[in-house]
Chains A and B, each alone.
Chain A
């Protein structure tokens, strides 16, 4: 009951076959209808045009100005950034951060979804409810909790490590451990989302397929590779690409735990843009940094759109 999800929304993108006009000859009614429909969409169009599309183009314009926004520099900000080692570190760190976090989120999501799916259906709800908690806590606040767990002098993890006889780890002041820590927090936060998506997708795989495979003597691993994975391929692709966008653009975790340090080694695009654009007041340079995110986002978006359309066709 709780898994009933309307999937028909995809029909809009799947290109729902246009229905023959039912009121033949009453073109005026149809015209009036479409005027009303347009008026109903107007607030939405105003919001999207004024607060998403316009700022996006404005950002391109801003990025071509000098710091005081008085002179046109052309691509000056971009070439300046590309000549800086710190910027290249940000590029690499963003890529490492996003790719490794998304990989482990998807893996943990897939494993936990299967584990829950194995349980008797009565217990599934409880486990699902419990494991989704990281996703429900506002990220900024749970990151504060993680920060406290990583605290240099009082780290509760270090207390355990000490108890086991190991050496204390300086979680956030050693650059490599800091990188590990911000990725770990991202995995912790995002894996439950994958769990929920994959669990819903697992439920939509027809039971007969597994029964048929079992009769043919397929073992659990074969069933997973030859039935589950192909049936879920599309939803896996959509969630991975979507998560790639969100993770790539993540701000909260790095900003709160390390503010980009130590030695700028944990900066991602968003925090570096914040540092340059808002903290240091060089708005054009900050805009240029965040525009570097655009290509990867655009490519992912195209593939997501294709995946969603395909899924819409499969379902509807």
Chain B
């Protein structure tokens, strides 16, 4: 169609253009229509979780009324119950402690290693870089059984400190991987200038590389945070008592104790537990997505 537009006289060109415009408008409307369908699919579960969490037990149990809306008015009873009658706050605290420790360990280890691998070639450095990438591809479900034995022999079974020990296997490879990329994108002239000024390697890292690669550091930190917040396999296998439990497993298993499932409270718990990653995502979406795509992987 555009090919015609190049050769035909200008009077017809206008007509072609407007029909093109019309086509574009229809394409746009179709795009919106399909996107709305996909958005409904993607947002139904979170929507239904929110709705359920604000219902009373009586309304949740009622079969006759429309479950997709709140008919009896919003109530905060489920949240009150969650915070006062269950161990939910203990799980929350445990997860927070574990996550903070894991994020700190991950960032220190991976920034140091990425700096060395991205900037200072040494014997075996490219093999190590490949090795890190391969480690990142090893799933936790392949390792949880031998790690169970190892954690048990260390006497850390049923202690959330074992999570601080094993979570770095989930976070360090990927964070190192994307930090290598960020560090390599920094021009070589910068560190030459620093070396001429007599800066040591540590000074160079702290004064130049970390500030310049800050977007990468934020992306890696978000990744480490979300992964250790959401980890499920290891706590499911290694932790069993309520005072040591973390949020994911605690919400999914321990809150379901009674004969009757308290779905309203469960949904409230799931939402509060999911809130920190969601809040971070809402405020730092660009960094979150940059980190995701930087790995060219993870799905």
Contact = CB atoms under 8 A, between A and B. Distances in A.
Contacts of B144: 273-274, 278, 290
Given A238-B297, A249-B141, A136 B38 contact: no
B156 interface: no
B166 interface: yes
A48 B270 contact: no
B184 A12 contact: yes
Contacts of B67: 154, 156, 159
Contacts of A38: 116, 122
A62 B184 CA distance: 41
A63 B236 CA distance: 21
Interface string B35-59: 1001101111110110010000000
Contacts of A246: 139, 298-299
B146 A55 contact: yes
B297 A242 contact: yes
Interface residues of B, number: 115
Contacts of B173: 48
A10 B181 contact: yes
B296 A51 contact: no
A11 interface: yes
Residue among A127, A144, A154 with the highest chain B CB neighbour number at 10 A: A144
Interface string A33-58: 11111101101110110011011101
A286 B144 CA distance: 10
A108 B169 contact: no
A55 B147 contact: yes
Given A34-B120, A142-B45, A59 B113 contact: no
Contacts of B293: 3, 5, 196-197, 200
Interface string B158-194: 0000000110110011001110111011000000000
A134 interface: yes
B141 A278 contact: no
Contact of B278 (A136, A270, A287, A304): A136
A154 B236 CA distance: 27
B266 interface: yes
A9 interface: yes
Contacts of B145: 59, 62, 273, 277-278, 283, 286-287, 290
A133 B251 contact: no
A133 B43 contact: yes
A269 interface: yes
A169 interface: no
Contacts, number: 351
Nearest to B47: A145
Interface string A3-46: 11111111111010010000000000000011111101101110
Interface string A211-255: 000111100000000000000000100110011011011111001
A4 B133 CA distance: 22
Contact of B176 (A18, A44, A235, A300): A44
Residue among B66, B109, B226 with the highest chain A CB neighbour number at 10 A: B109
A86 interface: no
B31 A48 contact: no
Residue among A7, A127, A145, A196 with the highest chain B CB neighbour number at 10 A: A145
B134 A301 contact: yes
A96 interface: no
B63 A138 contact: no
Given A43-B109, A249-B142, A297 B43 contact: no
Contacts of B182: 6, 9
Nearest to A109: B299
Contact of A37 (B122, B135, B230): B122
A5 B150 contact: no
Contact of A52 (B125, B169, B267, B299): B169
Given A9-B294, A12-B129, A37 B120 contact: yes
Nearest to B253: A256
A2 B290 contact: yes
A305 B112 CA distance: 24
Given A52-B169, A159-B67, A193-B298, A4 B143 contact: no
Contacts of B115: 40
Nearest to A300: B137
9 contacts: A5-B293, A52-B143, A115-B31, A115-B34, A138-B226, A138-B230, A145-B45, A278-B237, A308-B297
Interface of A: 1-13, 15, 18, 33-38, 40-41, 43-45, 47-48, 51-52, 54-56, 58-59, 62, 105, 108, 111-112, 115-116, 118-120, 127-134, 136-146, 148-149, 151, 153-154, 156, 159, 188, 190-194, 196-197, 200, 214-217, 235, 238-239, 242-243, 245-246, 248-252, 255-256, 269-270, 273-274, 277-278, 283, 286-287, 290-291, 293-294, 297, 300-301, 304-305, 308, 311
Given A36-B116, A52-B135, 18 more contacts: A5-B293, A12-B126, A35-B122, A37-B120, A40-B120, A48-B169, A56-B146, A130-B42, A131-B35, A134-B42, A137-B274, A145-B49, A145-B267, A148-B267, A249-B142, A283-B145, A283-B148, A297-B138
A-B pairs, top 6 by smallest CB distance, nearest first, are A9-B181, A138-B230, A34-B122, A249-B139, A2-B286, A270-B141
